[in-house]
Structure 1
Amino acid sequence: MSKSLPYSKAKDILNLKEKVGQFFMPAAFINDTEEEVQFIENLIQEHHIGGLCFFHSRASAATNFEGKKTVVYNEQSFDTLKRLINRYQKVSKHPLLISIDAEWGLAMRIENTPQYPYAITLGAIQNNTDLLYEVGKNIAKDCKLIGIHWNLSPVVDINNNPLNPVIGYRSFGEYKNKVVEKARAFISGTKSEGVLTSIKHFPGHGDTGTDSHLGLPVIEKSIEELWDNELFPFRELINEEEVDSVMVGHLAVPALSQGKKVPATISKDIITGVLRTKLGFKGVVITDALNMHSVSKMFPIKGELEWAAFDAGNDLLCFTENVPEGIETIQKKATQTTIEEAFERVWKLKQKAFSNPLPTCQELTTPETLNKKLAENSLTLFQGSEEALSDFKKEGFLKVALGKEVENHFFRLITDETLHTNNVLVALFPPKIKPKDNFEIPEPDLKKLKELLDTKNVVLYLFGNPYVLNILNYKKAKVVVIAYQDFKVFQENAAYHFLDKIVAKGELPVTIHS
């Protein structure tokens, strides 16, 4: 951007309040009212905030943790966001750093935009990191097209808790070396387009059973266990200097904070002590959203949470709801040296973002070709054999679809069906990707599937989170195949597998209970 300043000049031109303002990255919502948009414009003009993090709407999961508000979908969200970013940049004295969570593409926040597979699907791909590079690259292209500098991804949490309510499918899996390998490829692809990344959620959110939007997860592990597992991806990627920024999660890890059950986001022991000193990270540290109940409810006085997070060692305060009070409190309590050091890190990150070339393509990516390759390489034969599948087809079979209603491309390609047989081909489409309430699979469908598994020869194709298998007596199935996604290309790829046209190349990236 033409109005960005080099750090050597900015450090002398910006006053103290402007420098502190650069640490604030409040939430902005694509589907805001005009009054709410003007409120954000006032924050930008009056308080010189450093950037914005965009979310779909105030009724979306980012603020509506209990799900009591109805999300109104806007078919024009992409165009709306593009206009908003331009509008906000125009009123800002200093260029705004624009961020978003686009772990599986802009579709994570924006309707009618490209969607790529969840990380758990990518985790099933073996020996083909080029595909993950392409995913990172394509998502970055879409971000750049709309004016987003910073994709707050990838998740590098090692998910080894099947009931994890907030990570799970967002993780590349439970095998630490594979998580590092895949994150590295995704980061490289993103960087190739000049878009920033952030590894999250430090110090590792994978082995938790509490949603940090609602409460404080606690990991009761020894320092040795944490160093060997949770901290491993962060350590490796920081050592390789692959990291633009680290996002700190709202979870308590007593072994890293002198036995205290305090959120990592406000723990000086964890951020300054472990991340900065022991791991040697010199880049920008950003908080997870500060509106999340695991921390926000601890600080009834406005500005105190922002101060606690900054004092712990964070440079950027994401989704802060008390900008004026936070700036005032940090100005009063922080030392000049601390402010200057954080400002230097933040401004240099912004310089890096603004120095990248403008997008060469003026259209969003088309994910079908890449998604087809991802489907081919992730499909996993989890139980049974190709021979058992062949025998099953020779004897004839019935087709049964369970779960949510979708356009069934899988069955459309499989035309053979026998009216009287003990063989049943089941396509299971879980309504939700998260484990709450049995992935919201209707109880009658679960009963039907149990009955089929108990009484018939079942071949099961699962188009969803593989952790679904933990709630099924899947051992009774003749064959179990995991397709992970219900996209058209994933369904068609699964059909080609059933019809013996391809082999399953993927491997399950997590453990399912036997």
Structure 2
Amino acid sequence: MTVCKNQFCLPLLLLFCLLTLGASAQQQPFIGSLTDQNHWVDSVYKKLTKRRRVAQLLFVRAHTNKGQAYADSVGQVIKDQQVGGLVFFQGGPGRQADLVNTYQKLAHVPLLVAMDGEWGLGMRLDSTIAFPYQMTLGAIQDNKLIYKMGQEVAAQFKRIGAQMNFAPDMDVNNNPDNPVINYRSFGDNKYNVAEKGIAYMQGMQSGGLLTTAKHFPGHGDTNVDSHQDLPQLPFSKDRLDSLEEYPFREAIKAGISGVMIAHMNIPALDTTAKLPSTLSRPIITGILKDSLGFKGLVVSDAMEMKGVTKFFPNGEADVRAFLAGNDILELSEDSKRAIKLIRKAMRHDEITKDELKARVKKVLSAKYWVGLNHYQPVNTTNLSADINNAPAKALVQQLGDAAVTLLKGDSLIDRLDANKRTALISIGVTALTPYQQALGHYFTNSMPFYIPKDMSVADMNTLLQNLKGYDQIIIGIHDMRLRPASKLDYTSNVKLMIAQLASLPNTVISVFANPYTIAGLPGIEKAGALLACYQKDDFMQIAATKIITKQIKAAGKLPVSVNLYFTNGMGIVMR
């Protein structure tokens, strides 16, 4: 053995040991952790009764905006059934944190708390930050920003006591009329969807949050909302494999922790009549688990949706979902009945004890991975300030700035003069907008106008007359509905007036709406400059003004094909 006589040898050895310990202390990816022996998981599993083992696979609905009686009823379900987790919907962050603390006291095994947070807590909770929709993110060219957003979403989820996000949405939205996915998708290009979804997922998982790619094998090309009925995917196996499944396959390779199954009938993959994919063993076990090699959590879409209960009522859907291979049954119509029927199926040897054991241990492993083996109540001190922090708000604006897509007119924007007489018009609103206010600070010789979505013809004619004296016309088209649909709800006369305005000289138009709405505005392509801004929110309006006033350069690219004029990937990157 060589003896080191150098005085630096011992400190270097200590440093090496510390670095090694530090590296080993870093959290192992969830998928990798599933092959490890886990004494906590084994111990908890052994202590559970047969009924409560099944109950670990059931996640029930929770709200904080439905009153005390509703909250108490959920608490009673937790106390009586000892379910595995909760899925929180509408409410407020402080109320939710308090309720999580209350509910966790009722659970013998800590509850796994999940939410739909495709654009962060703001998707469900008031008084929280809403990050951009995934369609908006699809326009961003710097995926590091999306990774950073994922990290912030993870921090905010964990701060309110949630450990699992039913996101990202990895559907390829290749149907502009899709009523349920649409702006929730990163776009219609499978490669872009995969890259953006993986960046978002990796950011969240690096922050210790479980993630769930949805809705396998792909809900993007449907015209039926599975909340209301059962959609059908009539495509060939080759088409589904090469297009719809592509982002999920890539996410699985990248180590995503969960996959949510859609309620869709897919004859090419399972010929059983009217069978939703959620209940299909050939799709879940055969394709997702066996062919694609997915080892993580398989989560059903909500089991209360019409897409699954219409043809399989009275708890039959729950049993079939269990038999098909789902690890987590989300939002059963009746969790008590579901537990009873699944146990009955097991007594009839429809599923083996080993299969149940593997699934329950997978759920328990997820609880261990997020730290529930050392559960601590949510600290509600400074909760609002912590989740509405300044860096997160700045990141929202940064994402908006990077998403705005200049479809035409960079030369006109360069020529805009701050001193010329400028009309600042917002359409679809009844009051001054942040867009107009911000532009007014730059264009000092300007006048604001606003046009409601149902403006009378007489008022339109008066406005057009008034605009003849202006050198520059800068327009915002606003969809003020809660969610941005593919078609604007403007009257046909207002849509015709947009075409008239677009044909005037030196006209700049920003569309604060779903990009598909551009297809329903024939003539808008004649505008001197056109910006796709994706959503109505203030941060997007501010981002557009920054480009128009030459504070920043446009960098976004269209994530979907709108029409023959504006196709996927278009966008002038300003220099």
Give the letter for the 1:18 counterpart.
R
Q: Which moved more, 1:169-178 or 1:4-13?
A: 4-13
Deviations 1:118-154 (A, max 9, x none): 111111111x221111111111111111100111100
Aligned to 1:452: 501
C-alpha displacement at 1:393, in angstroms?
4.9
Aligned to 2:137: 122
**Percent identity between the aligned chains?**
33
Q: 1:95 aligns with which of 92, 102, 110?
A: 110
Give the letter for the 2:106 counterpart.
V
C-alpha displacement at 1:475, in angstroms?
2.1
C-alpha displacement at 1:166, in angstroms?
1.0
Give the letter for the 1:352 counterpart.
W
Deviations 1:349-390 (A, max 9, x none): 1211225997999511433211222122111111x2211334
Give the Cα–Cα distance (whole angstroms) in 1 for the partners of residues 388 and 198 of structure 2. 22
Aligned length: 488
Does the 8 Å contact 1:165/1:434 carry over to 2?
no
Give the letter for the 1:321 counterpart.
E
C-alpha displacement at 1:239, in angstroms?
2.0
Give the letter for the 1:183 counterpart.
G
Aligned to 1:73: none
Give the Cα–Cα distance (whole angstroms) in 2 for the partners of residues 353 and 292 of structure 1. 29
Does the 8 Å contact 1:138/1:365 carry over to 2?
no
2:264 maps to 1:247: no
2:346 maps to 1:346: no
**Equivalent residues in 2 for 1:286-435 (5 A)?**
286-301=299-314, 303-334=315-346, 335=351, 336-354=353-371, 363-366=386-389, 367-382=392-407, 384-391=408-415, 393=417, 396-405=421-430, 408-414=433-439, 415=443, 416-417=445-446, 420-421=469-470, 423-432=472-481, 434=483
**Equivalent residues in 2 for 1:278-293 (5 A)?**
278-293=291-306
Q: 2:556 aligns with which of 503, 506, 514?
A: 506
Does the 8 Å contact 1:209/1:217 carry over to 2?
yes
2:82 maps to 1:18: no
**Equivalent residues in 2 for 1:153-232 (5 A)?**
153-232=167-246
Give the Cα–Cα distance (whole angstroms) in 2 for the partners of residues 436 and 181 of structure 1. 25
Aligned to 1:63: none
Give the Cα–Cα distance (whole angstroms) in 2 for the partners of residues 111 and 442 of structure 1. 31
Tell me, what secondary structure is at the counterpart of 2:510?
strand
Does the 8 Å contact 2:147/2:202 carry over to 1?
yes
2:502 maps to 1:475: no
Does the 8 Å contact 2:409/2:530 carry over to 1?
no
Q: Using a 3 Å threshold, how does the CA distance of structure 1 residues 120 and 436 change in structure 2: closer, same or farther?
A: closer
Where does structure 1 lack aligned partners over 5 or more consecutive residues?
58-76
Give the Cα–Cα distance (whole angstroms) in 1 for the partners of residues 224 and 529 of structure 2. 33
Q: Using a 3 Å threshold, how does the CA distance of structure 1 residues 147 and 405 change in structure 2: closer, same or farther?
A: farther
Task: Give me the TM-score of the superposition, normalised by structure 2.
Answer: 0.80
C-alpha displacement at 1:392, in angstroms?
5.9
Deviations 1:278-316 (A, max 9, x none): 111112111111111111222332x21211111111111
Q: 2:279 aligns with which of 262, 266, 273?
A: 266
C-alpha displacement at 1:403, in angstroms?
1.5
Q: Using a 3 Å threshold, how does the CA distance of structure 1 residues 284 and 114 change in structure 2: closer, same or farther?
A: same
Q: Using a 3 Å threshold, how does the CA distance of structure 1 residues 110 and 434 change in structure 2: closer, same or farther?
A: closer
Give the letter for the 2:549 counterpart.
L
Q: Using a 3 Å threshold, how does the CA distance of structure 1 residues 283 and 462 change in structure 2: closer, same or farther?
A: same
Where does structure 2 lack aligned partners over 5 or more consecutive residues?
1-37, 448-466, 565-575
C-alpha displacement at 1:440, in angstroms?
3.2
Tell me, what secondary structure is at the counterpart of 2:370?
helix
Task: Give me the TM-score of the superposition, normalised by structure 1.
Answer: 0.89
Q: Using a 3 Å threshold, how does the CA distance of structure 1 residues 307 and 496 change in structure 2: closer, same or farther?
A: same
Give the Cα–Cα distance (whole angstroms) in 2 for the partners of residues 499 and 379 of structure 1. 14
Deviations 1:414-458 (A, max 9, x none): 233375147532101112365658343455543432442366663
Give the Cα–Cα distance (whole angstroms) in 1 for the partners of residues 424 and 176 of structure 2. 29
Give the Cα–Cα distance (whole angstroms) in 2 for the partners of residues 437 and 511 of structure 1. 12
Give the Cα–Cα distance (whole angstroms) in 2 for the partners of residues 5 and 296 of structure 1. 38
Give the Cα–Cα distance (whole angstroms) in 1 for the partners of residues 237 and 123 of structure 2. 34
Give the letter for the 1:389 counterpart.
I
Q: Using a 3 Å threshold, how does the CA distance of structure 1 residues 219 and 393 change in structure 2: closer, same or farther?
A: farther
Q: Which moved more, 1:371-380 or 1:22-31?
A: 371-380
Give the Cα–Cα distance (whole angstroms) in 2 for the partners of residues 314 and 191 of structure 1. 21
Tell me, what secondary structure is at the counterpart of 1:113?
coil
Tell me, what secondary structure is at the counterpart of 1:6?
helix
Aligned to 1:140: 154
